[in-house]
Amino acid sequence: MKKFLALALTLAMALTMLAGCGSSASSSTPAASSSTATSEAAKGSVYFLNFKPEQDEAYQAIAKEYSSLTGVDVKVVTAASGTYEQQLKSEIAKTDAPTIFQVNGPVGYAAWKDYCADLSGTDLYSHLLDKSIAITDGSGVYGIPFVIEGYGIIYNKKILAAYTAMDGAVVKSADEIVDFATLKAVVEDMQAKKDALSIKGVFAATSLATGEDWRWQTHLANVPVYYEFQKNNVDLGDTNATAEIKFEFGQQFKNLFDLYINNSTCAPTLLGSKSVDDSMAEFALGQCAMVQNGNWAYGQISGVDGNTVKPEDVAFLPMFIGAEGEKGQGICIGTENFFCINGKASAENQQASIDFLTWLYTDAAGMAHVTNDLGFIAPFDTFGDDVKPSDPLAQDVLAWSGKANTNNVPWNFTVFPSQTFKDNFGAALLEYAQGTKTWDDVNTVVVDGWKTEKANAAG
Amino acid sequence: MQKTLKKYFAFFALPTVIAFTIAFLAPFVMGLYLSFCKFTTITNAKWVGFENYIKAFTTDDGAFLSALWFTVKFTVVSVLTINILAFALALLLTRGLKGTNLFRTVFFMPNLIGGIVLGYIWQLIINGVLYYFETTITVKASYGFWGLVILMNWQLIGYMMIIYIAGIQNIPGDLMEAASIDGAKPTQILFKITIPMVMPSVTICTFLTLTNSFKLFDQNLALTGGGPGTSTRMLALDIYKTFYGRNGFEGVGQAKAVVFFIMVAAIAFIQLRATRSKEVEN
């Protein structure tokens, strides 16, 4: 027995040693690849940490093509949804750190400014259509936006047409919805006639589960905050001016939020269990007529099994909240995706990364990938008017941005103080929807939270 | 043999020592250092002294302390329920009932499922039941609390049961026999013989349940995510949210983690001392 035990122990030890060798062998592979990289040191290599999981496949294919074209090694790693900051924090500390990464605006830049290289002299920046949307600090340019996105209330044209054809419909066409009062009248009338329209509710579920509430605490909140900044002529670049908000249009936020939760597919008390996927599925299956989301969600709509919504049946409505002078308000168009080049990477790698991005956004082959495979509306002058993404929501965003006498709302939520602010706001909204908090409480959470979080970020 | 062992002790211990240093000691010391720094990544840390520790207790109106209180309540309740239920099941399944092996396997199985998966499964189950009352688990903090207790019980009872079964089967049969011949009642046998004899198992089981409950993270994240608000947020989740929730607070999260480590170590140490002293030799 003792002999057997000794044998077993020896075996176990031998195995651990083998395992040790095994792991060291596997860890030597990146070393090997980096040694091939050093042999091509002059060329440098590119490591892009991607934020959008839905575009991972497209990026991998692009990276492969670029490598075979130029011989430059391009590695694309995609962070799982909602873990970009975590991934970036751990990856950038490595020797083999990302050379291209993304920040989400001024607040993201504040966290990563030690790592951002100045891009003002690059070709890519010179091609940027609207230079004011880049992230600048002093005379330097540290983040270049690479995609324009839009969001609003996505509606199902077929269901709305069925409604407008009914006797006693409030409006005769979607174009007549030009302010909150009309929107409210239409939605409430549709909700009353939901059985005749064979829908479960007008709006898809207002997803308020943890981590699923960004459509409200960020996107919807953008509209009242935009009106407040407009009214007070706030300069977004001035950190003192945005240190506090009064949430003056909070009541208007409540207007639209109440409309969402009270004319929905489910009771407000159930919203804590709903995710964005649930909402998009309800819309795709034709169980509801409207859902607030952006053009990126089209893939989610068309990807649902048993999807009944045809591409030509989706379009955007502006998110009217009942603010003064909202006639002519458009959808929310902007970006929270900025490329940054890792300033702590080697000079060759930085140059290789800039070359890669320049190729992607200025070369015909690269641009074809951007429009067709990534489905981006790119904000660069190299993209002619004839290059348009194929998905209907992105096309509608373009249509809105070109509309005359329309005031599209920019994405001011890039100055929202922190994730904690958004999380607390979302949690307060959930409690309001459940009836365990009053609107005044939500108001306090927003105003106080903004102030303390801005102070936290500054200190 | 003894001599050669002594001679080569350092040599044979070396791989383990290296592994231990790389995987545990070095990160631990670095973590300790970082808790006194303001940093975004571990390579650009700047020394700030005790500022992080002060912030850890003062920001968010002492969210850390309320998370601690919630964790303590949860730990007390789940340690008690898990151990009592596991022991009861172990007693039942050492009676030689029919299908004992099947039951043991079935009770043990939940332990094989990962925490995140369990959290989501139970979220679906609990929300599915609450659906009939038009509410969800995040409506009240108490729903989340009992949800977590049920989840932990479901997951850990089987494992603890196996340990208790092993303990009970180790009790010499002659002790029991002697007791019953002397006229001891079943309750007397239970309290005077069985429980004192399985004290080593009690030590292990309370240790495992105590530390597991105190350090709970996956299940907490998946089941309630801390909601409503932050009222069901336990310590580990609070640390995670502090670290990633806002820029510049990585150091504060790190400081909380160090405090957390000291608490877990202290509690585990005290508990081990306390239950060890009750163990008897057989």
- pLDDT given for residue A15 in this prediction: 52
- My answer on whether B135 and B272 are in the same domain is yes
Residue with tokens 């409200």: A216
Taking the CA of residue A260 and the nearest CA in chain B, the distance in Å comes to: 18
- pLDDT given for residue A304 in this prediction: 86
List of chain A residues with pLDDT < 70: 1-42, 386, 459
- pLDDT given for residue B159 in this prediction: 92
- pLDDT given for residue B71 in this prediction: 94
| B4 assigned to some structural domain | no
Contact call for residues B26 and B19 (beta carbons, < 8 A): no
Q: Which residues pair with A155 in a beta bridge?
A: A290, A315
Q: How big is chain A by its Cα radius of gyration, in Å?
A: 25
- pLDDT given for residue A9 in this prediction: 58
State whether A434 and B138 contact (CB < 8 Å): yes
State whether A270 and B59 contact (CB < 8 Å): no
Name the 3-class secondary structure at A141. strand
State whether A210 and B137 contact (CB < 8 Å): no
Label residue B261 by pLDDT band (50, 70, 90).
very high
3-state helix, strand, coil in chain B (%, to 5): 75, 0, 20
State whether B59 and A456 contact (CB < 8 Å): yes
Which element (helix H / strand E) includes A408? strand A407-409
Taking the CA of residue A112 and the nearest CA in chain B, the distance in Å comes to: 8
* Residue type for position A449: G
- My answer on whether B69 and B171 are in the same domain is yes
Taking the CA of residue A437 and the nearest CA in chain B, the distance in Å comes to: 11
On the CB side of A96, how many CA atoms lie within 13 Å of its CA? 17
Sign of the torsion angle spanned by Cα atoms A225, A229, A230, A236: negative
- pLDDT given for residue A420 in this prediction: 86
Classify residue B86 as exposed, middle or buried by CB count within 10 Å of its CB (0-12, 13-18, 19+).
buried
Q: Does A188 touch chain B (CB under 8 A)?
A: no
Q: Which of B205, B258, B227 is nearest to B78 (CA)?
A: B205
- My answer on whether B37 and B152 are in the same domain is no
- Please provide the distance, in angstroms rounded to a whole number, between the alpha carbons at the two ends of chain B: 32
Which element (helix H / strand E) includes A147? none
The tally of domains found in chain B comes to: 2
- My answer on whether B216 and B77 are in the same domain is yes
* Residue type for position B268: A
Query: What are the residue ranges of helices labelled H in A95-249?
Result: 106-112, 123-127, 157-164, 180-192, 214, 221-231
State whether B246 and A418 contact (CB < 8 Å): yes
Q: Does A251 touch chain B (CB under 8 A)?
A: no
| B183 assigned to some structural domain | yes
Residue with tokens 């000691």: B25
Give contacts of B15 with chain A, Cβ < 8 Å: 16-17, 20
Q: Does B41 touch chain A (CB under 8 A)?
A: yes
Average pLDDT, chain A: 85
| B127 assigned to some structural domain | yes
- My answer on whether B21 and B97 are in the same domain is no
Residues counted in chain A:
459
Q: How far apart are CA A68 and CA A73, in angstroms?
A: 9
Q: Does B31 touch chain A (CB under 8 A)?
A: no
Name the 3-class secondary structure at A328. coil
| B265 assigned to some structural domain | yes
- My answer on whether B256 and B186 are in the same domain is yes
State whether A107 and B247 contact (CB < 8 Å): yes
Residue B45 has what DSSP assignment? -
Taking the CA of residue A422 and the nearest CA in chain B, the distance in Å comes to: 9
Q: Which of B209, B269, B216 is nearest to B239 (CA)?
A: B216
**How many Cβ atoms from other residues are within 10 Å of residue B208's Cβ?**
17
Q: Which domains does chain A have, with CATH numbers?
A: 39-148+335-384 (3.40.190.10), 151-332+416-458 (3.40.190.10)
Task: Give the tens place of pLDDT for each residue, A216-270.
Answer: 999 999 999 999 998 998 887 777 888 889 999 999 999 999 999 999 999 888 8
Q: What is the average pLDDT across B244-250?
A: 80
Q: How far apart are CA A395 and CA A260, in angstroms?
A: 25
- My answer on whether B117 and B215 are in the same domain is yes
- Residue in chain A nearest B120 by alpha carbon: A273
Taking the CA of residue A207 and the nearest CA in chain B, the distance in Å comes to: 13
- My answer on whether B229 and B152 are in the same domain is yes
| B281 assigned to some structural domain | no
Q: Which of B78, B89, B112, B107 is nearest to B165 (CA)?
A: B89
| B2 assigned to some structural domain | no
Task: Give the tens place of pLDDT for each residue, A404-413.
Answer: 888 899 999 9
- My answer on whether B41 and B65 are in the same domain is no
* Nearest CB partner across the interface for A92, out of B41, B245, B247: B41
- My answer on whether B34 and B134 are in the same domain is no
Q: Does A112 touch chain B (CB under 8 A)?
A: yes
Q: How far apart are CA A103 and CA A113, in angstroms?
A: 10
Q: How far apart are CA A164 and CA A183, in angstroms?
A: 13
Give A377-381 contacts, CB < 8 A, sequence gap 24+. A377/A147, A377/A148, A377/A149, A377/A295, A378/A146, A378/A147, A378/A148, A379/A128, A379/A129, A379/A130, A379/A133, A379/A145, A379/A146, A379/A147, A379/A148, A379/A335, A380/A124, A380/A127, A380/A128, A380/A129, A381/A127, A381/A128, A381/A129
Q: How far apart are CA A423 and CA A402, in angstroms?
A: 34
| B233 assigned to some structural domain | yes
- Considering A52-66, B68-82, B106-120, the range whose residues carry the highest mean pLDDT is B68-82
Q: How far apart are CA A81 and CA A98, in angstroms?
A: 18
Name the 3-class secondary structure at B269. helix
* A-to-B residue pairs, Cβ atoms closer than 8 angstroms: 94
- pLDDT given for residue B243 in this prediction: 86
| B5 assigned to some structural domain | no
What proportion of chain B, given as a percentage, has pLDDT over 70? 99
State whether B229 and A16 contact (CB < 8 Å): no
- My answer on whether B109 and B193 are in the same domain is yes
- My answer on whether B34 and B98 are in the same domain is no
Domain containing B213: what range? 61-276
Q: Chain centroid to CA A197: how far? A: 32
- pLDDT given for residue A10 in this prediction: 57
Q: How far apart are CA A213 and CA A268, in angstroms?
A: 14
Q: How far apart are CA B98 and CA B92, in angstroms?
A: 11
Task: Give the tens place of pLDDT for each residue, A148-188.
Answer: 899 999 999 999 999 999 888 889 888 889 999 999 999 99
- pLDDT given for residue A31 in this prediction: 38
Residue A342 has what DSSP assignment? B
At B224, which CATH number? Answer: 1.10.3720.10
Q: How far apart are CA B118 and CA A57, in angstroms?
A: 30
Task: Give the tens place of pLDDT for each residue, B17-65.
Answer: 999 999 999 999 999 999 998 887 777 788 888 888 998 888 777 789 9
